[in-house]
Amino acid sequence: MSRWSARVEPPWDLQEWRRLARAALCAGVAPHDIDWTGADQGSLLGLPDVADAPALHAPPRVPATLLQLANSVLCHRDPGGSALLYRLLWRITHGEPRVLGNPADPDTHRAHALGQAVRRDSHKMKAFVRFREVAGQKDNFVAWFEPENFIVDRVAPFFARRFAGMHWAILTPYRSAAWDREALVFGAGADRSQAPTEDAGEDLWRTYYANIFNPARINPRMMRQEMPQRYWKHLPEAQLIPGLLRDAGARVAAMDARPAEPARRRIPAPVPNGAPAPLPGLPALRTAARECRACPLWQPATQTVFGEGPQDARIMLVGEQPGDAEDLSGRPFVGPAGKLLDQALAEAGINREALYLTNAVKHFRFEQRGKQRLHRNPDAAHVSACSTWLAQETAIVQPRAIVCLGATAARAVFGPGFALMQERGCWRTRDDGTRAFATVHPAWVLRQTGEAREAGYRLLVADLCLLHETYAAP
């Protein structure tokens, strides 16, 4: 009976394992006749590649549950993972279709144990990666991490979604991943010395961590279980943990002895001589908006998405609210609707970089459907709660023209009762003398289909062309 070799490289590549497993299965090669090898292994027998085995059968249907399990198991460093998965595949297609449903089966039990270890390692990577800014390179961050398994390719897309608005790299001993705000690139492993060991923000982070540390809820055993000490050497806050544990008893006693204080309302200090308070700049306003709790939208949202653009911009574009991509990146108009807006602006001859872009509502309102977050229109109460931020942005920027994208933005700027499709493209003069008009939102265009989408896009471009005279003026 012939023996074959099967080399999965890289060893965590599900598609490569599927290709080799399919070839072996179609050729009728039994599990004990394959020598599975990976990146750190090699066959000592000089066996032929199983991919070259002659096919005797049509490819069988593979259960989705096995592929889901394989996606985790292949990431484990156990060199027997590929062989274990093929053995399960062989059994499923040769008379044991329900083997994965038997937790007492040794192969099933082992595969689930490997998968669970990979998922746990992936969770730890998401929790314990710490980015540090590279000295002399603004907004360029690097993190060092030492995973137990081959999980970089598996976890890096999470960081690309979570930190979409910054340049970052994650270095590990076997693999690296880098994000440039547009594409995720993988490379070879690195050395610990290639990652920064400190940055300017870590003292502030340690101060914050020490202040949120609750000594009354200390459980050292559980803490070490959730935050294993093998990760502490890469966590700046870990330096504080021994001292915080040591002082926990005294801090709890001091908290218990402290007399209760009634709640106090925060009353703004009066402005001397009745003079109007000076307006803050956009950076200060953006910082203040991060702490906004005026409506419930801040609770499920990732962050406040504030306006972006020059403080002296002649034109302000006001959208309705951030979307999923904006909520994750913290920047307005970076998702699909933002890309369509960029295209429309370019066609109208307008440079986005010269505009100030913001939204009437600063937090993403959504409805969770499984893993998806589906957009929901903000209520009038949400628009009202954010009206102060929009008014202050307008007062600071002092644009010559305002464009409202969508009905929500139009009502925030012009007031309730504004009929978008009847009044779009018509200039109005606001009480402060600023000229403004409303048009459709790019997201509305994307929701159309066929010819209606093209017509909606042409309508958006035509309205934006109204800006050209104001935009081109000195």
CATH number of the domain that residue 286 is part of? 3.40.470.10
Q: Say if 267 falls within a structural domain.
A: no
pLDDT digits (tens, 9 = 90+) for 322-333: 999 999 999 999
Asked if the structure places residue 254 within a domain, the reply is no
pLDDT at 242: 81
The burial class, CB within 10 Å (0-12 / 13-18 / 19+), for 398 is: middle
Do 330 and 393 belong to one domain? yes
Domain count, the chain: 4
pLDDT in tens, 122-164: 999 998 898 888 887 877 899 999 999 999 999 999 999 888 8
Is residue 275 situated within a structural domain? no
The answer to the question of residue 344 being in a domain is yes
Boundary residue ending a domain (150, 169, 194): 194
User: Of 84, 103, 121, which residue constitutes the final position of a domain?
Assistant: 121
Indicate whether 222 and 286 sit together in one domain.
no
* SS3 assignment, position 355: coil
pLDDT, tens digit, for every residue of 194-231? 988 776 666 766 776 777 777 776 777 776 777 777 77
Quick check: is 236 in a domain? yes
Instruction: Give the CA count within 13 Å in the CB-facing half-sphere of 285.
Output: 23
User: Residue with structure tokens 């199983």?
Assistant: 50
Looking at the structure, tell me whether residues 114 and 163 fall in a common domain: no
Rounded Cα–Cα distance for residues 236 and 203 (Å): 9
Same domain, 63 and 140: no
Same domain, 310 and 439: yes
- 173 in the same domain as 206: no
Q: Look at the block and give the residue holding tokens 């890289």.
A: 10
Q: Is residue 399 a part of any domain in this protein? A: yes
The pTM (predicted TM-score) of the whole model is 0.54
Domain co-membership, 307 together with 430: yes
Residue 159 placed within a domain: yes
Residues 136 and 174 in one domain: yes
Is the same domain home to 76 and 190? no
Is residue 142 within 8 A of residue 131, CB to CB? The reply is: yes
How far is 452 from 443, CA to CA, in rounded Å? 13
60/81 same-domain check: yes
Q: Within a 10 A sphere around the Cβ of 24, how many other Cβ atoms?
A: 23
Q: Count the alpha carbons within 13 Å of 211 in the hemisphere toward its beta carbon.
A: 6
The whole domain housing 384 covers 280-472
Q: Which of 98, 121, 144 is where one domain is finished?
A: 121
In a domain, 266, yes or no: no
Higher pLDDT, 110 or 372: 110
Same domain assignment for residues 309 and 182: no
